[in-house]
Amino acid sequence: MRNRKTRDISRGAMITVLSVVVLYLSTVLVTTKLSLLAASSVLVAIAVVETDLKVGALVYAASSALGFALVPDKLFVLSYIFFFGVYPLAKYAIERLNRFELEWLIKAIVFNVLAFLGYSVGKLFLSEQLKLPLSIWIVVMVSEILFVVYDYAMSLAISYYIERIKPKLG
């Protein structure tokens, strides 16, 4: 039991460091910003797969705090805090229901709540960076479509990790 806790803590710490590095890179590299945010999201999911939901939540909390302290572009950190970091935890809990239609309904609600919270907090603190060039309704519709694509890609990434990478790690 003690070895498992030690292993979980060390894996969580390594994944946290990787998450913060990926968050930092998402602000430095010009062309891959959203891809790197999505990759940081997958890292939280990997923490859950490798350990459990509690360690995944600790990885999310630690990488959020460190990201906020170390990453210069707070808009990307807020995106991580309010969606990309927390969504893998919600996805894990929701998909344990094993009821496809209900899962998607709950995921849509979670996405909209997280998007609203993130936008509201971002607007409060970063109003200059959050000026929308389009109507809010167009942004919402496009965001909903992108969310479905993101969720599906996240599922593919998690499956790939479980089937191809995790067995090689031992």
CB 19 within 8 A of CB 64: no
Predicted confidence (pLDDT) at residue 96 exceeds the cutoff of 70: yes
The pLDDT value given to residue 134: 77
pLDDT tens readout for residues 39-54: 999 999 999 999 999 9
127 φ/ψ angles, rounded to the nearest 5 degrees: -60, -35
Residue 124 has pLDDT above 70, yes or no: yes
pLDDT of residue 126: 72
At residue 33 the predicted structure's pLDDT band, cuts being 50, 70 and 90, is confident
What is the model's pLDDT at position 128?
Answer: 67
Specify the pTM: 0.90
Query: What domains can you pick out in the chain, each with its CATH number?
Result: 2-169 (1.10.1760)
Higher per-residue confidence, 124 vs 96:
96
Please report the pLDDT score of residue 21 as a whole number: 95
Give the model's pLDDT for residue 129: 63
Question: pLDDT-derived band of residue 75, with 50, 70 and 90 as boundaries?
Answer: confident
